[in-house]
């Protein structure tokens, strides 16, 4: 696992600022502490930080083809590189190393832009072809590995694995994007392709960008999508067998490494299933690690220990300090832009623990999105059944009026929140899903902002992010559609971003077998009833794992990897909360209505309301502003 960065002159072939490229590369030292490399020629510069996993003695980057006309800088793992190597050798390509990186330059020579369709794995890379005068940038299908890029006013394009590398460029415009700010307070992260900065973009998952000297920078091009093609009738027995077989193969190809390898084990279904497959494929005990919490409402360590004992793993547990506030400032440094998933705190700690034993860890990420494990999917399907009984033209005025009349009851169990239900029924499917899952809902976000900031949005609404994907979705089934939306937004923007930054902070490579793209394609073709059946999410997955895992691991209530924010903000973080949310930095940003911020703080501290989620998002936004002071930011 590594870090990549580069500078490309889109207009001509001016000299590249090597000192700038070196500074950009050095900001990503944590991603690849083993080696660094730089290549510069007129009009293009590529740089790399390496974390050695395979072929430790060679494979230094940037890496060239035989005649030096094609060079690559690459972050990731291509698991089918041995098969591709043999295929390319058979048609005359000569290899100097035994690493997966070299496959990319020869695959580019052989198949051009279509090479990405041949790769099985996680990757972000840039290929420079001197003969074609083309820079080709690609990101893996599900977005496991990141790519940021920006076009400067002078025509220089910069790209990197992390935003901090681009921010090392003093000529990069720093204006904040108001729409990205609104996205952040709606979703808790900034969804692709935006970043918090107007001038910087994320390359979306499953996309490539092909750039030529002297031509305008084009829009990224999609090369893969989750198909959701109906696989046709299939018995439960066949589905269970097919799922187990494909998961085992996905785990098998990810266990190849020349460094110590292990797994995260939370005690949930997904990580437990991955460990079960690993145990069956390994002659040695699997190294596993998990985090414990003193608060039993958040602690899953006993379940992890149960799985570890069942498979005889070499298991390590570390209890996280319930007042682990030392990481708060570190998070802003890691994520570079506002990021409000509080589970980043324990994720950082479990990566820290894992790195003490291993250099590569397998995780269970992606199971909830691909196999319908979130409770919100069940609620959405139920609401869609109700929506289908009445056309939107009748529902919107009727339930909209009821929602306005009914008292708000965020404190009540979901089934008793009639106001929220009426609001959902007054919307279409995409609006309803957005409203149910927004960190800060529409009405509260409108009160949150100052009048001048609301004007800067020019009528923009964050639901447009979901609408964009829904219009291109290959399915209209209520369950499959929201799974698709999450795979396009929440999975890369929140889950995979969290794991990438937390793991790379410790030079730890995390591999994600449930997001093996052949497995994802196959699962997407299963009947939705096999994923969510009788209110049971991951139905067929759990059935397939019954021979391997205890019943109470498979069928206990889902906990999640959370921290007790509400208690923190009423206890040990109370004073810091008040100073942060009501301090000068948020006030001076011009974005917020300070009366609303005062209400959020007072109502939460008094126990009148649980505003921990919006307060945390504000807390992390303030940390972002504080870290970026002096960089010339501000709204565009």
Per domain, the residue ranges of the chain are 3-222, 236-372+490-555, 377-485, 565-630
What confidence category does residue 11 fall into, taking pLDDT thresholds of 50, 70 and 90?
very high
Least confident of 16-20, 283-287, 291-295, 601-605: 291-295
Least confident of 34-43, 145-154, 192-201, 414-423: 414-423
Q: How much is the pLDDT for 412? A: 45
115 is a catalytic site residue: no
Determine whether 533 is exposed, middle or buried from the number of CB atoms within 10 Å of its CB (0-12, 13-18, 19+).
middle
48, pLDDT greater than 90: yes
What confidence category does residue 144 fall into, taking pLDDT thresholds of 50, 70 and 90?
very high
- Neighbouring-strand partners of residue 5: 47, 160
3-state secondary structure 378-439: HHHHHHHHHHCCCCHHHHHHHHHHHHHHCCCCCCCCHHHCHHHHHHHHCCCHHHHHHHHHCC
Dist CA 485 CA 463 (whole Å): 11
3-state DSSP percent of the chain in helix, strand and coil, to 5 = 45, 15, 40
Strands 156-160 and 200-202: unpaired
Dist CA 390 CA 386 (whole Å): 8
Q: Is 364 annotated as a binding residue?
A: yes
Dist CA 71 CA 282 (whole Å): 36
Q: Which two tokens stand for residue 376?
A: 């919100």
Least confident of 125-129, 253-257, 285-289, 299-303: 299-303
Residue whose pair of structure tokens reads 């409770």 in the numeric block: 375
User: Would you say 343 and 188 are in contact if contact means Cβ atoms under 8 Å apart?
Assistant: no
Question: How far apart, in Å, are the Cα atoms of 270 and each of 142, 227, 264, 540, 549?
Answer: 17, 22, 10, 13, 11
* Percentage of residues of the chain with pLDDT beyond 70: 94
Q: Using one digit for the tens of pLDDT, what is the confidence trace for 209-250? A: 999 999 999 999 999 999 999 888 899 999 999 999 999 999
438, pLDDT greater than 90: yes
Dist CA 518 CA 515 (whole Å): 8
Determine whether 584 is exposed, middle or buried from the number of CB atoms within 10 Å of its CB (0-12, 13-18, 19+).
exposed
Q: Which two tokens stand for residue 540?
A: 């067929």
Q: Which two tokens stand for residue 424?
A: 């959902």
DSSP symbol at 629: T
User: Would you say 89 and 97 are in contact if contact means Cβ atoms under 8 Å apart?
Assistant: no
User: Would you say 33 and 49 are in contact if contact means Cβ atoms under 8 Å apart?
Assistant: yes
- CB within 8 A of 415, min separation 6: which ones? none
Q: Is 312 annotated as a binding residue?
A: no
Per-residue pLDDT, averaged over 272-297, amounts to: 92
CB atoms closer than 10 angstroms to residue 434: 24
Q: Which CATH number fits domain 236-372+490-555: 3.30.300.30, 1.10.10.10, 3.40.50.620, 3.90.245.10?
A: 3.40.50.620
**Which run of H or of E encompasses 137?**
strand 134-139
What confidence category does residue 408 fall into, taking pLDDT thresholds of 50, 70 and 90?
low
Average of per-residue pLDDT values in the chain: 92
Top-ranked range on mean pLDDT: pick from 42-56, 226-240, 416-430 = 226-240
Per-residue pLDDT, averaged over 273-294, amounts to: 94
Strands 148-151 and 156-160: antiparallel
Determine whether 512 is exposed, middle or buried from the number of CB atoms within 10 Å of its CB (0-12, 13-18, 19+).
buried
Angle (CA) 545 546 547, round 5°: 90
Dist CA 324 CA 315 (whole Å): 23
Residue whose pair of structure tokens reads 């840039």 in the numeric block: 126
Dist CA 144 CA 120 (whole Å): 12
Grouping H, G, I as helix, E, B as strand and the rest as coil, residue 142 is: coil
Q: How much is the pLDDT for 135? A: 98
Grouping H, G, I as helix, E, B as strand and the rest as coil, residue 202 is: strand
CB atoms closer than 10 angstroms to residue 48: 30
141, pLDDT greater than 80: yes
Class of domain 3-222: alpha beta
The DSSP secondary structure of 468-521, one letter per residue, reads: HHHHH-S---HHHHHHHHHHHTHIIIIIIHHHHHHHHTTT-EEE-GGG-HHHHH
- CB within 8 A of 552, min separation 6: which ones? 303
Grouping H, G, I as helix, E, B as strand and the rest as coil, residue 55 is: coil
**Helices 612-627 and 328-335, packing angle to 10 deg:** 70
- Better-scored residue on pLDDT, 487 or 54: 487
- Better-scored residue on pLDDT, 450 or 295: 450
Strands 156-160 and 536-537: unpaired
Q: How much is the pLDDT for 191? A: 98
Q: Using one digit for the tens of pLDDT, what is the confidence trace for 58-68? A: 568 999 999 99
Per-residue pLDDT, averaged over 519-532, amounts to: 97
Q: Is 100 annotated as a binding residue?
A: yes
3-state secondary structure 5-41: EEEEECCCCCCCCHHHHHHHHHCCHHHCECEEEEEEE
The domains spanning 3-222 and 236-372+490-555 adopt the same CATH topology: no
Q: Residue 193's Cα: distance from chain center in Å?
A: 12
Q: Using one digit for the tens of pLDDT, what is the confidence trace for 543-563? A: 999 999 999 999 988 776 677
Cis check: omega of the bond before 193, within 30 degrees of 0: yes
pTM metric for this prediction: 0.94
Q: Using one digit for the tens of pLDDT, what is the confidence trace for 163-196? A: 999 999 999 999 999 999 999 999 999 999 999 9
**Which run of H or of E encompasses 159?**
strand 156-160
User: Would you say 529 and 257 are in contact if contact means Cβ atoms under 8 Å apart?
Assistant: no
Q: Is 92 annotated as a binding residue?
A: no
User: Would you say 61 and 71 are in contact if contact means Cβ atoms under 8 Å apart?
Assistant: no
CB atoms closer than 10 angstroms to residue 421: 22
User: Would you say 257 and 284 are in contact if contact means Cβ atoms under 8 Å apart?
Assistant: no
User: Would you say 17 and 69 are in contact if contact means Cβ atoms under 8 Å apart?
Assistant: no
Q: How much is the pLDDT for 549? A: 97
Question: How far apart, in Å, are the Cα atoms of 17 and each of 368, 417, 589?
Answer: 44, 58, 33
List the catalytic residue out of 2, 99, 115, 289. 2
């Amino acid at each position: 696992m590594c870090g990549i960065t580069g500078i490309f002159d889109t207009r001509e072939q001016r000299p590249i600022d090597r000192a700038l490229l070196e500074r950009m590369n050095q900001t990503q030292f944590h991603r690849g502490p083993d080696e660094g490399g730089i290549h510069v020629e007129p009009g293009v510069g590529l740089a790399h930080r390496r974390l050695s996993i395979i072929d430790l003695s060679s494979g230094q980057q940037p890496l060239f083809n035989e005649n030096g006309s094609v060079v690559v800088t690459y972050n990731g793992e291509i698991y089918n590189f041995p098969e591709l190597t043999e295929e390319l050798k058979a048609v005359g390509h000569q290899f100097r190393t035994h690493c997966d990186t070299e496959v990319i330059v020869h695959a580019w020579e052989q198949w051009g832009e279509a090479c990405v369709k041949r790769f099985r794995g996680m990757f972000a890379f840039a290929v420079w072809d001197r003969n074609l005068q083309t820079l080709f940038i690609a990101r893996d299908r599900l977005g496991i590995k990141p790519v940021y890029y920006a076009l400067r006013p002078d025509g220089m394009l910069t790209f990197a694995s992390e935003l901090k590398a681009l921010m090392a460029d003093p000529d990069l415009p720093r204006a904040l994007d108001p729409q990205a700010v609104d996205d952040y307070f709606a979703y808790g992260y900034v969804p692709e392709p935006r970043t918090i900065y107007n001038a910087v973009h994320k390359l979306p998952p499953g996309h490539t960008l092909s750039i030529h000297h002297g031509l305008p920078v084009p829009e990224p091009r999609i090369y893969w999508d989750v198909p959701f093609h109906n696989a046709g009738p299939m018995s439960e027995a066949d589905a269970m067998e097919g799922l187990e077989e494909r998961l085992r193969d996905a785990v098998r190809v990810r266990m190849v490494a020349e460094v110590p390898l292990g797994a995260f084990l939370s005690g949930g279904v997904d990580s437990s299933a991955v460990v079960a497959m690993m145990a069956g494929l390994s002659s040695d005990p699997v190294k596993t690690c998990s985090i414990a919490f003193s608060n039993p409402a958040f602690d899953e360590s006993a379940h992890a220990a149960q799985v570890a004992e069942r498979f005889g793993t070499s298991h390590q547990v570390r209890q996280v300090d319930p007042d682990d506030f030392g990481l708060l400032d570190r998070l802003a440094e890691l994520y570079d832009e506002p990021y409000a998933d509080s589970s980043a705190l324990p994720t950082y700690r479990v990566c820290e623990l894992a790195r003490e034993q291993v250099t590569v860890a397998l995780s269970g990420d992606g199971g909830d999105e691909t196999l319908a494990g979130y409770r919100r999917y069940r609620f959405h399907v139920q609401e869609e059944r109700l929506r289908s009984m009445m056309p939107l033209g009748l529902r919107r005025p009727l339930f909209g009026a009821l929602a306005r009349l009914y008292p708000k009851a965020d404190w009540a169990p979901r089934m008793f929140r009639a106001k929220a239900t009426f609001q959902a029924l007054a919307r279409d499917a995409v609006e309803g899903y957005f409203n149910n899952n927004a960190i800060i809902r529409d009405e509260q976000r409108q009160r949150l902002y100052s009048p001048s900031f609301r004007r800067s949005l020019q009528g923009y609404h964050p639901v447009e992010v979901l609408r964009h994907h829904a219009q291109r979705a290959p399915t209209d089934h209520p369950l499959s559609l929201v799974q698709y939306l999450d795979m396009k937004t929440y999975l890369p923007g929140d889950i995979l971003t969290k794991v990438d930054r937390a793991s790379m902070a410790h030079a730890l490579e995390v591999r994600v077998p449930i997001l093996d793209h052949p497995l994802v394609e196959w699962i997407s073709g299963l009947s939705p009833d096999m994923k969510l059946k009788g209110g049971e999410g991951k139905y067929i997955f759990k059935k397939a794992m019954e021979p391997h895992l205890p019943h109470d691991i498979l069928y206990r209530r889902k906990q999640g990897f959370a921290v007790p924010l509400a208690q923190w903000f009423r206890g040990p973080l109370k004073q810091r909360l008040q100073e942060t949310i009501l301090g000068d930095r948020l006030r001076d940003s011009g974005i917020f209505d300070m009366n609303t911020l005062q209400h959020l703080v007072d109502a939460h501290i008094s126990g009148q309301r649980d505003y921990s989620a919006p307060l945390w998002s504000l807390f992390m936004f303030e940390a972002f502003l504080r870290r970026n002071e002096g960089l010339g930011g501000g709204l565009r």
